[in-house]
Chain A
């Protein structure tokens, strides 16, 4: 699957740049053998594929004589090439295509595991943002924006505004923080901070507002817990997408989207207990059913409510 994804993207590259040959090697390949390969090919005319085998490198060679994309996949490859010529950044296209996969992951987390997050869009969009900013900076930005936002939200409480007006002010704050961080990034030369605009302002404002709402309703602890869950789930989604190489995979096989829809339908029909409900309700089926109050834990400090 990986190899065929590489084949597809390599073919796309070759189509766009039209060199003689494109040779794809694993990222782990050393530079020296690569140099030797290129020299042998140029000076002695040894075919790249043969040269790669000699160095024990698993290479894909695309060219006049090399591998080709299967003919039924060519229209897709040409479509992507067309998009790139029309100045559509391939990265943006990947992000769009990866969105449904992350959404399915979030559905799994909520319906099968039973995690409580701030809505559906929160974790989806935040993990998408991580793809651009990277994990560390992304987390930092998330914490900075939500932290400042919640502080401002508390201050706004005293102004007694209508909810929509309050939300508009939060958006202004998030905009200011994001603008400021971009400037910091430019000044200090921190690349990930320049990509900060990928953090969707409206969604971030929404996370802040949800935080405040659940703080009013369930208390600060529960609100913090839900924020942490949202952040944690975003990180996990990002890691799954990143480590599994899903980004190149969706470009090469956009039909994966159909598979996610099938998964979503199945999950949407699923009625079983969520994993965390097994933990929560373990006490509901006693060792033996008795109708008297069994001697239980002595009264003491109450525990936080079950999630």
Chain B
């Protein structure tokens, strides 16, 4: 037990050290603004040729909500997102139309008035920190790639890749559960499944800090699943981190059945639960990388990350 605590202290990255040694040192303050606004993120990623889910409409004034409603009435599936929403709040996923009703991912249906009311809430800033107004984004819906879709309860799983100095260091699959309401965020009750960087295969799974072997709602085993297009996922994450210019960042990548890898968003204050899902502390890797000279080419840096993980 004492030995475990000692290893914990030496290997696991805590919030204090994350804030001091990594966020403060590697993430320039003025870049936070870009990742905290999904519109700005999209623009920055597009400028570097990193694919993101297509943006259909933006609405940032209450007066245009009517017009937005008219446009949505013609669409069958889409996603509503607050531009500055935190932790997945305020996101509504419409998967299909049933006559005049819109069907949510959970199966519940909404009318046009409900959507307009939600748009009004978002623009008023209900889901955004700081109490200012916000903009509503209408994005095309991501259709999960089948291998990963089989692991999620009504929702799209994503891969969170932690990228340090442009090198992927840890990755985990985030699976929506009944409790997380279709969202993949761990603190909402999603399942975190560690993915070995070298092999692209899943390792351990956790819900909160409890270990699980299978998905709590679906019962499917979560071990040793090969994540499709693994190299592509890692390269995308690395290029996204380069595009935003953050040195210590969590990149959320989804695999769309039609378009392949897309970058959903970036997090400049990535959570540390990823260490639990991988049963691996971050400090040894981070400290090795902090001193290393790294290649300029993203693919080469992905190789560095995968080799480091295989050797550890």
Interface residues of A (CB under 8 A from B): 111, 114, 160-164, 167, 213, 216-219, 222, 269-274, 277-278, 280-287, 289, 291-306
Contact = CB atoms under 8 A, between A and B. Distances in A.
Given A160-B120, A277-B12, A302-B177, A289 B279 contact: yes
Contacts of A284: 8, 11-12, 275-276, 278-281
Given A219-B188, A282-B8, 8 more contacts: A222-B187, A270-B16, A271-B20, A273-B16, A295-B213, A300-B216, A303-B207, A306-B209
B129 interface: yes
Contact of B8 (A111, A273, A299): A273
B17 A271 contact: yes
A273 B12 contact: yes
B87 interface: yes
The prevalent SS among residues of A at the interface is loop
B16 A306 contact: no
B126 A163 contact: yes
Contact of B4 (A285, A293, A296, A301): A285
5 contacts: A293-B204, A296-B212, A299-B214, A303-B208, A304-B208
B5 interface: yes
B14 A296 contact: no
Nearest to B90: A216
A302 B189 contact: yes
Contacts of B29: none
Given A272-B16, A293-B205, A160 B121 contact: yes
B196 interface: yes
A305 B208 contact: yes
Interface string B182-218: 0000111100000010000011111111111111100
B208 A160 contact: no
A162 B133 contact: yes
Given A291-B203, A295-B213, A303-B207, A283 B9 contact: no
B129 A292 contact: no
A231 B129 CA distance: 23
Which 4 A/B pairs are nearest by Cβ-Cβ distance?
Answer: A293-B223, A163-B131, A296-B211, A273-B14
A87 to B, nearest CB: 39
Contacts of B127: 216
Nearest to B211: A296
B21 to A, nearest CB: 6
A222 B179 CA distance: 14
Interface string B94-117: 000000000000000000000001
A280 B15 CA distance: 12
Contact of B86 (A217, A283, A305): A217
B125 interface: yes
B124 A160 contact: yes
B89 interface: yes
A297 B209 CA distance: 12
B7 interface: yes
Contacts of B8: 273, 278, 281-282, 284-285
Contacts of A306: 208-209, 273
Contacts of B179: 302
B307 interface: no
Nearest to B196: A291
Nearest to A298: B213
